[in-house]
Structure 1
Amino acid sequence: MLKISTKQLLILVTIVFILFLAYYNQAIEENEVLNSASNFTLEVKNEAAEKANRVEIKNDNQEIIVHLSGEVKNPGVYKLKSKERLIDLIKAAGGLKNKADLEQINLAEKIFDGQKVVIPSVLDRNSNQAADHNFIESGNFNVEGKLVSSYSKSAEKELVNINLAGQDLLESLSGIGPAKAKAIIKYRNQNSFNKKEDLLNISGIGEKTLENLENEITVK
């Protein structure tokens, strides 16, 4: 049987301890490297998030200028923050008048720099609807809904103001469907119609459509 002296046992124990100590130190160093890399990645992500938040806050705090007219108490040009909505613009103008047509506006609509917003009146909608009703009741349409009177359609009802008319009324115009009606409303919110020919600036409305609308619309 192999006998180990005390001196040899001590040397063996020392070698084992040194190997354990070396392994332990290496493990600590690797852990520190991993923690450093993880902390660096976290710091980069946090810095990127903070930068994005600063940019977003900066954009929200940018000032824009918007022109508000129509059925509001104090129409005019207002300076607001870019994050604000139509309801904030109306509040800045002192609120709506009693005749404002809430069915034709979106209070949550976003506003942007250089925009013009026109708040329509219920009187315009009611008068146009009444004119349409009277025109039909007068007997100028046959059972197929076609005009049989010798009088023109425009002679029997009021002209539609494309700067104020709502979605439904615009769709009643010749050659104007839901998509074109929305395009007209979007255009006038940015640039009011100064003349009928401005309709040609809208995609999908050409000379032929304008010709058919000529005797049905007005801009004043």
Structure 2
Amino acid sequence: MIIPIAAFAVLSTVLFFPREQPDQLSEERGQSLFEPIESIETAEQNIEVEAPVELIAEAVSVAILVDVKGAVRHPGLYSMQDGDRLLDAVDKAGGYTEAADTRLLNHAQKLQDESVVYVPVAGEEPPVYEQPATAASSSSDSSTSKVNINTANESDFQTLPGIGPSKAMAIVQYREEHGAFSHLDGIKNVSGIGDKTFEKLEPHIILN
């Protein structure tokens, strides 16, 4: 009798004890599979990615001082930037007056530190100011440091005594219109260059 009773007890346990349904097991197993993925996604969201830092080199501007004189509205000493042009200095000085004669001015000329910009009035002989020395050019005679008046540019002429921006431009314009100089004193045909100026120039100029 003991064996039948034990068998009946086991059968009752199997029949009446609640078992997990297949769908429930599949759902629980599915959740266990996806939990690690959710954890990884959460971890990725918490990671802060630093953007790369871009280093941009800024050009350093160099200040220069220019003395603006003559027929401008506000003559004076002005702080300019290296690379500025003559017209920039005139604009900073308030622009030209009505009496200004700008025909011989080179508005595109680059400014130099310690230089003078003089704007003459109509019919005026511009005064001569000593300009800062410029680098020697290929048109100058390297052995004697003389300027070749048939090949020199405006910057070269401004290294000569008595020659400022307006006269340097006048020499170049005259040469372009009339051709090369055939003799040294031919430079006196340029407007603004007389005997006194030529006396200063003669020791420093040559022909090709």
Q: TM-score, normalised by structure 1?
A: 0.36
Which protein is richer in helix relative to its size? 1
When normalised by structure 2's length, the TM-score is 0.38
